[in-house]
Chains A and B, each alone.
Chain A
C-alpha cells in the first residue's frame, strides 16, 4: 500500500517504525485502557506483518481479549488511549461494523451463531444477499454460501441448521462468515478451546491455507504447541503490558512460558505456614460428560485428595475442565453421565444434589459470582444466609435478628465494605461481592471449600485480603481447594498443586518443587495422539 493519501500521521508512523511500514498491516501503539479501578492495558504495542499468522500469548486476565476488543471497535475510539494504524491509515472505530468494513473480523471464543438459522442464513446475517425489491435472494444466498463453505473445507449443505452441526464445523461457519465480509485481518480468540483434536487440526490447517491466500490472522491461544505449529511471530502480554515479540526462528514453548510468567512474586501473598492434618476429601475416578453431548468427556477420570488445613491448587488453562470438575462434584451442578466416588474422612459420601453436597460439608464458590454466586437484587444479609438458612430457623421461623447479627459479624471479619448489610449486593464492588460469596460458604460451615478463581476481576488490595481469609480458613482445619489459571497465585498460596489438562490430571507437585514453567508444561500436556 502506498501512503499517497498523505495522512500527516502516516509520516509519524513511518518515522517510528523505520522500513517496516509497507510490511505491517497493523500497528497498535501505546494502547492504554482503564476500567474503573483497573488498568487493563498499559502502553501496549502490537505489530502484525501482512500475510503472517501472529499469535498473542498471555495468562488469563493478561489483557489479550481487551486488546482485541480495542482493535475491533468493541471498545470504541475515545474509550482508550493510543493509536491504531491499519493498512497505513490511522483508524478510529466507533463500533464493530466499522472495523468489519475495513476488513478486520474477530471470531470470539463463544461463537456468535444463531442456532436455529441455516448455515447460509448465518453467513449472511446482517449482510443479506438482496434481489429485486430488496427481497432476499435465497438461491444466490445459498449459492454464495456453498462457495464459501468450499473455501473453508466444510462439506455441509448451506441449508443445514447450525444447531445440527458440531462445534468444530460451527467454527468453520464463523470463518466462512468472515470471508464473506472480505476479511483482511482475521482475529481468532481461543479458536480451538472447545474443539476436539481432529477439528483443531483442520482449523489450524485452514488458517495456514488462508495465509497462502493473503489473509493475515491473529490467533489468541493457550495451546503452545499449536502456536509453535502455525505462528510466524508471537507477542507475549503480561499484566496488560507487551513483554516481547518472538520471531518464528526463536519460538519455543519454554521461551513463551518464560515470557508469560516472569514476574515478581514477592509480597503479593501473605506469609503462611500450613498445619496439615488428616485426609478430608478423596475423589476417585471422577468422570463427567458434556451436559448436551453426553459422548464428549469433559472431566476424565480425575482423582484428587485434600487434607485438613491444606490449601490444594488445581491449575488448568481455560477449557481444561476445572470449573466443570468442581461443579460436577458439587452435587452434579454440571454435566451428564457423571461417575466416580467421593470419600470424606475415609467414608464414602453421596453428592447427588447441591443440597446433599452442602449437607456433606462441601462448598463451592463460583468463578462467575454475578451469574452463579449472588442474588444481586437482594441485600448482603440474605445473600450470606441463603445457603444455610436452616441454621437460623427456630420453631419454623427464620430469626432475622440473628441473621442480621451474623451478617454484621461477617461484615467485620471479612472487611466487607458496605454501608450496611441491608444494602443490595449489586451495589458492592467486585472484591466485596466476592467476600459476600465467601461469607455465604463459610457460614455453611463446610469441611471442604472449593474456590473457583477466587480473585478473578478484583484488584490487588482485595486479592491480598482474600488470600488472608483463605489462610485463616485453612488454619481452622478446613480443606481448601483453589482453582486458578494464575500460576503465581497458586504458587503463592497453595501447599500442593494438581495440574489439569483436557479434563485429566496431568501432574501433582508440592509447591516447593513447582515452578511456573514446570506447571505450564503439565497444564499444556496433551493426550497422546
Chain B
C-alpha cells in the first residue's frame, strides 16, 4: 500500500530511458524521411529526366518554362492542400479557373476596365464563388465532394455562358505579364548578356533563406528544442542554396524571373506561415485530425470550413488569371483537368486522404514532380497516352507508400 504513495508511477517498463532514446531517434529519422522523402523523390525525378533528355530538362529556357507552365497548378495546389487537410476536397477549381478567366476577359477586354481593376474584381468574383460553395459545405452540411462536383458543372456552364460560344482576347500587356512577363535588367557584358537583377534577387533569396533558417534554429535551441543534427542541417541548407542559385543563374541567362514565380513565391511564403503559425491554419489541422475534438476545443469549425473555400475560390481565380494571361485568351476549354493535377500534387506531397496531414511545401513539390514528369516525358517524345498512365501510377504509388508508412506506424503505436 505504501509503495503506491511513494511511487505513484508504475507506468512504463523499467528500461524506458534507454528505450525512449532509441524510439525517439528512430521516430526522428522516420519523420525526417517522411518530410524529406518528397524532396528526394523530386531530386530523383529531375536527375532521371536530365539523363534521359540529355540535359535538355535543365536548360535555362526549359527551367523557365517549367515554372511558368506549372504556375497555375501550383497556385491551386496551395489552396487544395489546405482543403484536403481539413478533410474536404474541391473538384470545381478547374471550372472556376475557366469561369474567372472568362469574367476577367469581360472586365479587361469587353468592358475595357484598367488591368489592375479587372484583376481585383476577378479575384473578388472568385471569393464569391468560394463563398457560395463554402456556404453549402459549412452551413448546410453537404459533403464537399458533392458541392464541388456540382460546382464543376455549374461554373463550367457559367464560363461558357460568359464567353457566349466564343473566345475573348487579346488582353492588355500588363495583364498578360501575370502569365508570361519577366522581371529583368539585361546587361551586355564581355559579349554575353547577363541579368544582374535576377542574380541579385537570387542572392537576396539565398541570404533570406539562410537568415531565416538560422534564426529558427537559434530560436529552437534557445527553448531547448530538438533540432536536426548540424551536418544534416548544413547539408540540407547547402542543397537549397545550390538549387536556388542554379535556378536564378539559369533564369538570368534566359529572360529573367517570371512574374508567375514572384506570385508563387509570395504565396508559398504566406501560406507556409498561415498553415503553421496562424490560429486559422492550426484550426484547419485540428479539424482535419479530429473534427469533434476540435469543436469541443472551441474551434468554430463551420467558420473555418467556410473561409477555407472562400480562400480556395480566390486561388482558383488567380490560377484562372495566370492561365488566361499566359494564353492571352479566355477560352471555353480552359482549366480542364486542373482539379485532378492539383489534387494529385497535394497527395503526392504527402497529404492524407482522411485529412489532418499535409503541407504547403509538400504540395508545391508534388506539383513540381508532376510538372517535371510532364515536361520530361514531352521532351522525350513520349505520347500523351503514356504520360497519363505514368502520372496515374506515380500518384497511386505515392499514396500507397504513405498508407504503408502509416499502417506500420499504427502497429507500432498500438503495441
Contacts and interface: CB of A to CB of B under 8 A. Distances in A.
A329 to B, nearest CB: 12
B111 interface: no
B5 A373 contact: no
A376 B289 contact: yes
Interface in A379-428: 382, 385-387, 389-390, 393, 396-398, 400-402, 404-405, 408, 415, 417, 419-420, 422-424, 426-427
Interface string A455-480: 00001111011001000000000000
Contact of B293 (A372, A415, A419): A372
B292 A372 contact: yes
A458 to B, nearest CB: 10
B282 interface: yes
Interface stretch (B21-29, B38-46, B69-77, B147-155): B21-29
Interface string B262-291: 000000000001001111001101100110
Contacts of B277: 397-398, 400
**Number of contact residues on B: which range applies?**
35 or more
Nearest to B12: A417
A357 interface: yes
B413 A424 contact: yes
A377 B4 CA distance: 33
A466 to B, nearest CB: 10
Interface stretch (B47-55, B94-102, B188-196, B220-228): B220-228
B389 interface: no
Contact of B298 (A358, A429, A461): A358
B388 interface: no
Interface string B168-207: 0000000000000000000000000000000000000000
B356 interface: yes
A401 B276 CA distance: 12
Given A397-B277, A401-B219, A401-B222, A375 B294 contact: yes
A373 B290 CA distance: 9
Contacts, number: 133
Contact of B223 (A405, A415, A423, A460): A405
A358 B297 CA distance: 8
Contacts of B10: 461
Contacts of B9: 415, 461-462, 465
B39 to A, nearest CB: 20
A371 B292 contact: yes
Nearest to A423: B27
B82 interface: no
Contacts of B289: 375-378
Contact of A419 (B1, B27, B220, B276): B27
B23 A375 contact: no
**Number of contact residues on A: which range applies?**
35 or more
A463 to B, nearest CB: 9
Contacts of B8: 461, 464-465, 468
Contact of A386 (B21, B226, B286): B286
Contacts of B415: 36
A86 interface: no
A347 interface: no
B395 interface: no
A355 B293 contact: no
A435 B352 CA distance: 27
Interface centre among A396, A431, A460 (most CB of B within 10 A): A396
Nearest to A390: B279
Nearest to A415: B9
Contacts of B223: 401-402, 404-405
Contacts of A404: 220, 223, 225
A417 B12 CA distance: 8
Contacts of A389: 279, 282-283
Contacts of B282: 382, 385-386, 389, 398
Interface in B360-391: none
A449 to B, nearest CB: 14
A286 interface: no
B296 interface: yes
Contacts of A424: 409, 413
Given A378-B289, A461-B4, 14 more contacts: A266-B1, A333-B296, A371-B292, A375-B285, A378-B286, A396-B278, A401-B222, A401-B225, A404-B225, A415-B9, A417-B16, A419-B20, A460-B4, A461-B10
Interface of B: 1-2, 4-5, 8-12, 16, 20-21, 23-24, 27, 219-220, 222-226, 273, 276-279, 282-283, 285-286, 289-290, 292-300, 352, 356-357, 409, 412-413, 415
User: What are the nearest 4 A-B pairs in CB distance?
Assistant: A375-B289, A419-B24, A387-B297, A355-B298
